Structure 1
Amino acid sequence: MKHLFLPALASAALAALSACTGEGEDAGKAACAAPAGVVNVYTSRHYDTDLALYEDFTCFSGIKVNRLEADADALIERIAAEGEYSQADLFVTVDAGRLWRAEEAGFLAPVDSKVLAERIPANLRDPQNRWFALTTRARIIIYNKAKGAPAGLVNYEDLAKPEFRGRLCMRSSSSVYNIALLASMISHDGEAKAAAWAKGVVANFQRPPQGNDMSNIESVAAGECDISLVNTYYLARFDTPEKRKVLDSIGIIFPNQATTGTHVNMSGAGLVKTAPNRENAVKFLEYLASDKAQQFLANGNNEYPAAVGVAPTSAVEKLGSFKADTLSAAEIGKNQARAALLFNAAGWN
């Protein structure tokens, strides 16, 4: 964990985002707002491009963004342990389940903001407005294109069919992305069917769970296994001249288009109850929901904007449009503990 606050400086990336107004470095600096305090962000988003976004916010608002970066679970423990003495204003993380854990730890506060209520869909924020999505990512099925689209594979539930025996490669069940997916299936299908699905998928493994989404994409492209589950932004990372061969070898399926829609997870942020700079934190949250910030957040990691009416412009746009599952992210968080138990019972290590 990084134990010191770091100023959010990213000059090179900021050039891509552009200065607030004016031409040239001096003009950009002259146009920035006068200093107006700070906001302290505890974040597990580890994308360097976010730093330029922080600096842009400082330019137009005058509020300096201080950042403490660490693993989400470590940050949750830290904020809870710091209690009323915490310097955290905002908690930022990359999974709905972790936002729910922060909510359960009792240190997030509701935010009454017309901007956030209008910009962020109800299913992508806490019912009591204690956290809000910043970006989303879809969990999709991929297959080896040379072997052809697997017949009868349309929904997540189909992955448990016996005709796919020995054809699946997956990452560990400890992955928050797999836990979130199974948590959503508990909500949609009930615990008994979700448990049966997990057992059926385990029976169809080509090999024990291993690697991550990136390595499983490479395994499917190489024909080492036929089918896997991955997040869209990992697939978009292969959209480069050097990795194009891998991407061209992959076919994709957005599951459950005729039923619940494709499962999405998110990155999000919540106001800390003891925030020493509450007003500045709310201003920063509202800024993150703006068109400009949404595009930059999403493009920085090939994700989808969470705000209403903001179209994706990163590499994920090339994957095609799809119907997303509108299940409340709060439901996903609530069911994650049960999902982990079902995975263990199914032998999905």
Structure 2
Amino acid sequence: MVRSTLPRATRATRALRAGFAGGALALAALAVTLPAAPAARAADPDVNVYSTRQAFLIQPLFDAFTEETGIGVNVVFAKEGLAERLRAEGDNSPADLVFTADIGHLNDLVELDVVQPVDNATLESAIPAQYRHPDGKWFGLTLRGRVIYAAKERVPEGAVETYADLTDPRWEGRVCTRKGDHPYQVALLAALIAEKGEDAARAWLAGLKDNLARRPQGNDRAQVKAIMEGQCDLAIGNTYYMGKMLDDPEQRAWAEAAYIVFPNQDGSGTHMNLSGVAMTKAAPNRDNAVALMEFLVSDRAQEMYAQLNHEYPVKPDVAWSDLLRSWGDFKMDPLSLSEVAKYRGRALMMVNSVGYNS
């Protein structure tokens, strides 16, 4: 059974939990809340999780883990701020694992020094090297492609085949994207810098800006809605959003107005991003946390991930869902996401220097 609060917390961690919803004010008070030295903590029979992934996406997996092992999973969910919370809690943190999406967020955990390496043969054999930290400080669990959405009625199949095609003058005023400094867009640009160099990446970004139909705005779903409404003919987004829209009666028409193009199939392949997990530095229940990590790369859990959120399993030999198979096989960019993370700072500066959002 998945419980929504952390058990057996010290007074300090209870105060943290109560104050977490208070945001920055609660974090500012941490120096007073936490004791001067780490308090001794006894391990409990559960695993304590901090997650930026919404509960409905991962709770069925935790339920399956508990059913199989008898180990409970306690979850604290927050859209943002978990890395900073872990740094503030330090050795007193009750969290064992942190779940998040996007290479940027995983890299932030490493840069803030709030996670520890895990050396584990099961994880290393299940997860390809490009989807895990070289020192075991984070591990990918699911994959999503950063693809092109194309209007079914206005963009013939084959008219766009690469990310570079989005800069062709023929598409002037016909492309929509979310803001350039969103982590998904930053990761794509960072991958282009890693593969082609800064000059080529800057030229691509400037060309993309020249073809925008409107100021960058909204999430990936909003781009598909704009295609349906005729505001643009092409957009950039993650694969799993198409599945989410098809599941939603109010958004199904958006998805049905567009089709997916997997870019760069004759070259580097489609840029991939991921959701992942990392073990916190404090991790009071390390053995149980490792057991959960191992479960999440089992065939059973990987198949559940694919069905629940329309994401690609990170484990290569696990079958895709029927919906993912209907979109066809495609070549994934083999570039290591740790390499992509190195260029995120440069990518963000590039977004600002070309004035992409304006």
In the other structure, the counterpart of 1:157 is: 164
CA distance in 2, matches of 1:280, 1:318: 37
What amino acid sits opposite 1:236 in the alignment? Answer: G
Q: What displacement does 1:311 show? A: 1.7
Q: What displacement does 1:220 show? A: 0.9
Deviations 1:306-333 (CA, angstroms, capped at 9, x unpaired): 1121121153332221111111111122
How many residues align structurally? 317
CA contact (8 A) 2:55 2:77 kept: no
Q: What displacement does 1:130 show? A: 1.1
Q: What displacement does 1:38 show? A: 0.9
| Structure 1, gaps ≥5 residues long | 8-35
In the other structure, the counterpart of 1:247 is: 255
CA distance in 2, matches of 1:159, 1:213: 16
| Alignment counterpart, residue 338 of structure 2, candidates 312, 320, 330 | 330
In the other structure, the counterpart of 1:139 is: 146
- 1:195 equivalenced with 2:202 (yes/no): yes
CA contact (8 A) 2:47 2:71 kept: yes
CA contact (8 A) 1:302 1:314 kept: no
- 1:272 equivalenced with 2:283 (yes/no): no
In the other structure, the counterpart of 1:86 is: 93
CA contact (8 A) 1:123 1:326 kept: yes
In the other structure, the counterpart of 2:124 is: 117
CA distance in 2, matches of 1:248, 1:52: 28
CA contact (8 A) 2:100 2:106 kept: yes
What amino acid sits opposite 1:204 in the alignment? Answer: N
CA contact (8 A) 1:195 1:342 kept: yes
CA distance in 1, matches of 2:75, 2:247: 31
- 1:211 equivalenced with 2:218 (yes/no): yes
Equivalent residue of 1:116, what SS? helix
CA contact (8 A) 2:270 2:333 kept: yes
- 1:52 equivalenced with 2:38 (yes/no): no
In the other structure, the counterpart of 2:23 is: none
Distance 1:222 1:55, change over 3 A: same
CA distance in 1, matches of 2:301, 2:69: 14
CA distance in 1, matches of 2:312, 2:55: 15
In the other structure, the counterpart of 2:314 is: 306
Distance 1:160 1:272, change over 3 A: same
Deviations 1:201-243 (CA, angstroms, capped at 9, x unpaired): 1111111111111111011123221110011111112325845
In the other structure, the counterpart of 1:20 is: none
CA distance in 2, matches of 1:237, 1:254: 18
Equivalent residue of 1:266, what SS? strand
CA distance in 1, matches of 2:252, 2:48: 40
CA distance in 2, matches of 1:195, 1:150: 27
Q: What displacement does 1:244 show? A: 4.6
Deviations 1:276-295 (CA, angstroms, capped at 9, x unpaired): 11111111100000011111
Please list, as runs of the form range in 1=range in 2, the aligned pairs for 1:160-199 lying within 5 A after superposition: 160-199=167-206
CA distance in 1, matches of 2:54, 2:334: 27
| Structure 2, gaps ≥5 residues long | 8-43
CA contact (8 A) 1:213 1:234 kept: yes
CA contact (8 A) 2:155 2:233 kept: no
Deviations 1:258-293 (CA, angstroms, capped at 9, x unpaired): 111001110000111221111111111000000111
Moved more, 58-67 or 286-295: 58-67
| Cα root mean square deviation, aligned | 1.8
TM value normalised by structure 1 = 0.86
In the other structure, the counterpart of 1:15 is: none
In the other structure, the counterpart of 1:321 is: 329
Moved more, 160-169 or 93-102: 160-169
Equivalent residue of 1:148, what SS? coil
CA contact (8 A) 2:6 2:48 kept: no
Please list, as runs of the form range in 1=range in 2, the aligned pairs for 1:32-43 lying within 5 A after superposition: 37-43=45-51
Displaced runs of 4+ in structure 1, greater than 6 A? none
- 1:68 equivalenced with 2:79 (yes/no): no
CA distance in 2, matches of 1:241, 1:46: 17
- 1:286 equivalenced with 2:294 (yes/no): yes
What amino acid sits opposite 1:208 in the alignment? Answer: R
TM value normalised by structure 2 = 0.84
Distance 1:52 1:251, change over 3 A: closer
What amino acid sits opposite 1:297 in the alignment? Answer: Y
Equivalent residue of 2:218, what SS? coil
Q: What displacement does 1:145 show? A: 1.5
CA distance in 2, matches of 1:265, 1:223: 28
CA distance in 2, matches of 1:289, 1:301: 16
Equivalent residue of 2:186, what SS? helix
